[in-house]
Amino acid sequence: MAFDSLSEKLQNVFKNLRSKGRLTEDDVKAALKEVKMALLEADVNFKVVKQFVKDVQERAIGQDVMNGLNPGQMVIKIVNEEMVRLMGSETTEIALRPGKELTIIMMAGLQGAGKTTTTAKIAGKLKAKGKKVLLAACDVYRPAAIEQLQINGEKQGVEVFSMGDKNTPVNIAKAAVEHATKNDFNVLIIDTAGRLHVDEDMMAELIQIKENVAVSQTILVVDAMTGQDAVNVAKTFDEKIGIDGVVLTKLDGDTRGGAALSIRAVTGKPILYAGMGEKLSDLEQFYPDRMASRILGMGDVLTLIEKAQNELDEEKAKKLEEKMRKNEFDFEMYLESMSQMKKMGGLSSILGMMPGLGGGKMPEIDEGAAEKNMARTEAIIFSMTVEERQNPSLLNPSRKRRIAQGAGVDIAEVNRLVKQFDQAKKMMKQMPGMMKKGKKGMFKG
């Protein structure tokens, strides 16, 4: 399985770290040296490794250890976060054009990377989303490619547009667009010809298609088994024709995994999907966070870290509850509750969940404005002195004017915030029982 060896090595490094109660700076440096070796052996790009280790080290040294974790676990947490970031943090979807507009996807890649197979796999995914998909067979150099696409298209239940191998790829692509437009297709995926190596003819052909057809997404297919070659191929394709995303195939194989960890950092382009086998259903959306936990192979520790994070929020929430109950709610708390609310999907969703408060019975609080203006509200609170935050009754007109200036807002906005704050405070008072829900309570992150 991919990443096995990397995973094993990293787990050994972490086992050593976790066995220590305390960590010195030297411990961290020594551990990261091993992480560096493990990544290099997994064929991760050299520059990427260097930067990665530097980033982790900077964060790990001098950072406070979170409640509920030991220093070793704290380092694992940082490595995990940086690894997710390395792979792009967010999951990226293929961008489709809005409404009925035809989305044109051009597939590119070297021969054998899995382009034709992936084309049919993607068609299946889009069809499942309710799109009418047309495939265009523009690989005219490998006769078997057209037939392969036809067979796969049939399996997926999508139409394949072909003009045999006696026409030029660009002419076939143009005719396919016409056919797709006339017949109300939503998506056209153009399967192009690969070559054994990056070569000028292939690039010229792809550029020609792009110049003649309104391609909206260029997706490059690379073989994870080829490691750094895959990364170099991606870089070259991006420089020559411009790509929007990458599909990394054969991650089911015994690859060392370097490509998955380097492509995003080297090219700046996201991995969209991972090919996990030869069957047409073997295509998985690429989730950087899931991939990182798979590489680190530390489900248990990562869960623990998550829990510690929640507990941290719970601790804050408890303090908040306490203050509210004593009616000591102040602007510092307001700020804190705002950040907790943001995590929970906003004020309205929280109020909606409160028993007896959904369905029109909400107290009169201007929640829409509160959510929209959170950033401005924060700016206003940040412009208050600590004393003012803790004792809002100090806020006389001259102080309000100063705060408005500091936050770059109108004084009316400061007044509005103070009014909202008073309303929120009143609301808290009216609902004494509502904060005492323990684990399922309101302010758990």
**By CB under 6 A, is residue 252 in contact with ligand GDP?**
yes
Instruction: Find out whether 192 is annotated in a ligand binding site.
Output: yes
**By CB under 6 A, is residue 7 in contact with ligand GDP?**
no
Burial class (CB in 10 A: 0-12, 13-18, 19+), 21: exposed
**By CB under 6 A, is residue 432 in contact with ligand GDP?**
no
Pick out residues in 172-201 that bind ligand GDP (CB under 6 A): 194
From edge to edge, which strands make up the β-sheet containing 159-161? 159-161, 133-137, 187-191, 103-109, 217-223, 245-249, 271-275, 283-285
Strands 187-191 and 283-285: unpaired
> Which residues have a Cβ under 8 Å from the Cβ of 19 and sit 6 or more positions away?
72
Q: Which is nearer to ligand GDP, 107 or 407 (CB)?
A: 107
Instruction: Find out whether 110 is annotated in a ligand binding site.
Output: yes
Pick out residues in 314-353 that bind ligand GDP (CB under 6 A): none
Residues touching ligand GDP: how many (CB under 6 A)? Answer: 18
- Pick one of 114, 245, 257, 288: the residue that binds ligand GDP (CB under 6 A): 114
Instruction: Find out whether 115 is annotated in a ligand binding site.
Output: yes
Q: Which is nearer to ligand GDP, 37 or 151 (CB)?
A: 151
- Pick one of 36, 115, 400, 425: the residue that binds ligand GDP (CB under 6 A): 115
Instruction: Find out whether 64 is annotated in a ligand binding site.
Output: no
Q: Which is nearer to ligand GDP, 253 or 406 (CB)?
A: 253
- Pick one of 116, 267, 340, 373: the residue that binds ligand GDP (CB under 6 A): 116
> Which residues have a Cβ under 8 Å from the Cβ of 111 and sit 6 or more positions away?
142, 194, 195, 196
Cα–Cα dist 374/436, whole Å: 26
Cα–Cα dist 394/175, whole Å: 73
Site string for ligand GDP, 262-301 (x = CB under 6 A): -------------xxxx---x-------------------
In the bound state, the residue with its beta carbon closest to ligand GDP is: 275
Q: How far is the CB of 445 from ligand GDP (least distance, A)?
A: 38
Region for residue 314 given its phi and psi (left: phi exceeds 0; alpha: psi -120 to 50; beta: otherwise) = alpha
**By CB under 6 A, is residue 250 in contact with ligand GDP?**
yes
Cα–Cα dist 344/337, whole Å: 10
Contact indicator for 187, 124 with CB cutoff of 8 Å? no
- Pick one of 80, 92, 117, 218: the residue that binds ligand GDP (CB under 6 A): 117
Q: Which is nearer to ligand GDP, 141 or 366 (CB)?
A: 141
Contact indicator for 111, 195 with CB cutoff of 8 Å? yes
| Sign of CA pseudo-dihedral 37, 41, 44, 45 | positive
Cα–Cα dist 243/114, whole Å: 17
The secondary structure of the chain in percent helix, strand, coil, rounded to multiples of 5, reads 60, 10, 30
- Pick one of 72, 88, 109, 153: the residue that binds ligand GDP (CB under 6 A): 109
- Pick one of 5, 16, 111, 390: the residue that binds ligand GDP (CB under 6 A): 111
Q: Is 101 helix (H, G, I), strand (E, B) or coil?
A: coil
Cα–Cα dist 256/274, whole Å: 15
Describe the crossing of helices 71-86 and 25-41 by its angle, rounded to 10 degrees: 40
From residue 269, how far is each of 39, 47, 162 by CA, in Å? 21, 17, 30
Q: How far is the CB of 21 from ligand GDP (least distance, A)?
A: 44
**By CB under 6 A, is residue 256 in contact with ligand GDP?**
no
Q: Which is nearer to ligand GDP, 252 or 371 (CB)?
A: 252
Q: Which is nearer to ligand GDP, 282 or 378 (CB)?
A: 282
Q: Is 98 helix (H, G, I), strand (E, B) or coil?
A: coil
- State the residues that interact with ligand GDP by CB under 6 A: 109, 111-117, 194, 249-250, 252-253, 275-278, 282
Binding positions for GTP: 109-116, 191-195, 249-252
Q: Which residues are annotated as a binding site?
A: 109-116, 191-195, 249-252
